[in-house]
Structures are given as C-alpha cells and as structure tokens.
C-alpha cells in the first residue's frame, strides 16, 4: 500500500479508525520507516495542539446542582412577577368598579375609567390575565415553598395590592372610608354576578376588601408583617359585616392585614389550589 495520509494518521492516533483500517495501517507502519517517522511527527503535533487548547481553558468550577438549573428555568418567570401584579391590579380596579354598580352598561367596565371620578373603594380583585400570569403566580408559590417556610412573596403581592387600594381610599370621601365595609352588600354583589366577564371570575386569584379609615392608612404598617389567617367570624366582627369573596368561588382562607386597619383578604379556591 502507498504511504498513509495524515488524516488517516490522526484518526489512527485519535483511536477513531475502524478496526479493519487500523489493521491495514498497523501492517504498513510495521514495514515503512517513513510512515513511522510521520506518525511520530503527527503525534507530537497532536499533543502540542491539545496542550495549547488546554492552556486556554477556563478555570473549571463544579457544575451547579442539577436541581438549581431546573429552578433557574423558572426564575425567568419570577422577573416578570411585578409586572404581572401591576397588570392584575389594574384589571382588579376595573373589575371592582364594574361590580360597584351592576346597573351600568358595558362601557363602565372599561379598566381605563377615569380614576378621579372613582370615589368608592370597593373590591380589588387581582385577576391573572393569561396562562403565563397564572403560571408565574404558581411558580412563585412553588419556589417560595422551597426557599422559605413563610409565603412571603404572596404577602408582598398582597401588600402591593393593598397599597393600591390605599391610594384609592385616600381620595375617597371620609364617609366611604370611615371603617365601614366598602362593599355595599353581599346580596348586591351576588346580583352583579351575571354581568361579570366569565373568564375573569374563573381566573380569580384573590379578593382584597379594604375597610380602613384614612387615619389608619396613614399610620402605616409597622410591627408584624404576617397576614394572619383568621376565621370568618373574626373577619365578620372586624369588618362589621360578612366578608365577601367573589361570587361562585368558595373562600379558601381569610387573612388579616398586619397593619392596624380593617383590611381583610379573602383567598378563593382556584383551580391551582384545588389541585
């Protein structure tokens, strides 16, 4: 056979030559000094090249745990959470206004209503607007469970929702915000059900009812940061009337604001929670 070409020699050295070819090359090398010399040169070249590459490698650090990697695929959703909340709150304000006056025509449900004319804080209902948002909320809960025993992020969101409600309460006339429940009555709310956009109700995350006075709102919320779970009876005595969740959705639990006000959050059963 003729001399072995360098490509074959590299495959030979790399151990990538099929065994049949390898046998032929071995036989040739045994009787060809030229090719043995070439082989030695190519081996030196190969070793030199891999040494050069080896000198330009990163400092090897251990791979992060696989589980962390899986979590990091979720972390991208976490970034968007504040935006999801902002969107939810805007929708919630719109829905709350809609619920406030069931007699209104469809135009009043427009979330871009004039906030200056909005006098009565009613029900703030953060409504995840899409699959992604619902997922992000779930993701947040899951990762919270992993990291901290307390459902802090949920509370953060709730505080956020609350502060928005506060800002609405601040423009409300004293009569409307003087500690009485802002919702007119549960009966009226129930009457409003047929006019609710069906999708919104199905995707409801929670209902925020604020009955705080302006004074309480300004006093801020120092001290505890826990939104304590309270019984329906306690919520009733706190509000002076029954707490109202969204019609058609059973309340999962009721929490009380850590601030010295009468803010109560009714968390309804959601599809995610039911699972």
Partner 1 sequence: MPDDIAEVYRNTYPALVRFLYRKVWDAERAEDLAQEAFARALVHRPENTRGWLFVVAANMARDEARKAAREKRHLTLLKSEPDAFHTSPEEDIDADTQRTRVRAALDQLTPRDREALLLWDAGMSYDEIAAQTGLSRGAIGTTLARARRRLVEAYDAGREGGQHVARG
How many residues lie near partner 1 (CB under 8 A)? 33
Interface with partner 1, residue 7, by CB under 8 A: yes
Residues in contact with 22: Cβ distance below 8 Å, sequence separation at least 6, in sequence order: 12
Per rule CB under 8 A, is residue 150 in the interface with partner 1? no
Beta-bridge partner residues of 265: 208, 255
Segment contacting partner 1 by CB under 8 A, of 6-14, 98-106, 190-198, 217-225: 6-14
Residues 8-67 that bind partner 1 (CB under 8 A): 8-12, 14, 16-17, 42, 45-46, 48-50, 52-53, 55-61, 63-64, 66
**Selected binder of partner 1 within 73, 112, 117, 187 (CB under 8 A):** 73
Which residue, 5 or 110, is less far from partner 1 as judged by CB?
5
Q: How far apart are the C-alpha atoms of 216 and 179, rounded to whole Å?
A: 9
- Cα(238)–Cα(119) distance, integer angstroms: 23
Q: What is the DSSP string of 192-213?
A: HGGGS-HHHHHT---EEE----
Angle in degrees, 0-180, between the axes of helices 131-147 and 152-171, rounded to the nearest 10: 120
Measured in degrees and rounded to the nearest 5, phi and psi for residue 207 equal -120, 130
Contact flag: residue 206 with partner 1 (CB under 8 A): no
How far apart CA 91 and CA 111 sit, in angstroms, is: 6
Q: Is residue 72 close enough to count as binding partner 1 by CB under 8 A?
A: yes
CB of 191 to partner 1, least distance (A): 46
180 binds partner 1 (CB under 8 A): no
Q: Tell me if 5 contacts partner 1 by CB under 8 A.
A: yes
Nearer Cβ to partner 1 (60/105): 60
* Residue whose pair of structure tokens reads 């009485």 in the numeric block: 180
50 or 167: CB nearest partner 1: 50
Residue 196, burial from CB neighbour count under 10 angstroms (0-12, 13-18, 19+): buried
CB of 43 to partner 1, least distance (A): 11
Hey, what are 238's tokens?
A: 């706190």
Near partner 1 by CB under 8 A: residue from 19, 30, 31, 70: 70
Record the tokens describing residue 92, joined without a space: 């919630």
With H, G, I as helix, E, B as strand and everything else as coil, classify residue 256. Answer: strand
Least distance from C-beta 78 to partner 1, angstroms? 14
Query: Which residue, 16 or 150, has its beta carbon nearer to partner 1?
Result: 16
- Asked if 198 is part of the footprint of partner 1 (rule: CB under 8 A), the reply reads no
Q: By CB under 8 A, is residue 6 in contact with partner 1?
A: yes
Helix (H, G, I), strand (E, B) or coil at 17: coil
Rounded Cα distance between 150 and 83, Å, is 22
**Which parts of this chain interact with partner 1 (CB under 8 A)?**
5-12, 14, 16-17, 42, 45-46, 48-50, 52-53, 55-61, 63-64, 66, 69-70, 72-73
């Amino acid at each position: 056979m003729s001399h072995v070409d360098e490509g074959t020699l590299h495959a030979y050295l790399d151990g990538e030559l099929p065994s049949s070819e390898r046998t032929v090359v071995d036989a040739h090398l045994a009787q060809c000094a030229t090719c043995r010399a070439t082989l030695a040169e190519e081996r030196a070249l190969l070793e030199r090249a891999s040494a050069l590459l080896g000198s330009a490698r990163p400092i090897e650090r251990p791979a992060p745990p696989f589980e962390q990697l899986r979590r990091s695929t979720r972390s991208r959703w976490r970034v968007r959470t504040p935006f999801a909340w902002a969107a939810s709150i805007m929708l919630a304000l719109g829905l709350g206004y809609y619920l406030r006056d069931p007699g209104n025509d469809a135009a009043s449900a427009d979330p871009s209503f004039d906030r200056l004319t909005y006098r009565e804080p009613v029900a703030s209902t953060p409504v995840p607007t899409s699959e992604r948002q619902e997922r992000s909320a779930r993701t947040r809960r899951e990762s919270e469970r992993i990291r901290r025993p307390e459902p802090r992020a949920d509370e953060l969101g709730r505080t956020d929702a609350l502060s928005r409600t506060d800002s609405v309460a601040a423009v409300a006339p004293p009569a409307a915000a003087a500690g009485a429940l802002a919702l007119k009555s549960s009966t009226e709310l129930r009457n409003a059900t047929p006019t609710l956009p069906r999708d919104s109700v199905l995707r409801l995350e929670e209902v925020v009812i604020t009955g705080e006075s302006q004074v309480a709102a300004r006093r801020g919320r120092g001290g505890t940061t826990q939104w304590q779970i309270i019984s329906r009876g306690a919520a009733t005595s706190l509000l002076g009337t029954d707490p109202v969740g969204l019609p058609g959705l059973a309340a999962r639990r009721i929490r009380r604001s850590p601030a010295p006000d009468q803010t109560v959050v009714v968390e309804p059963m959601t599809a995610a929670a039911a699972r």
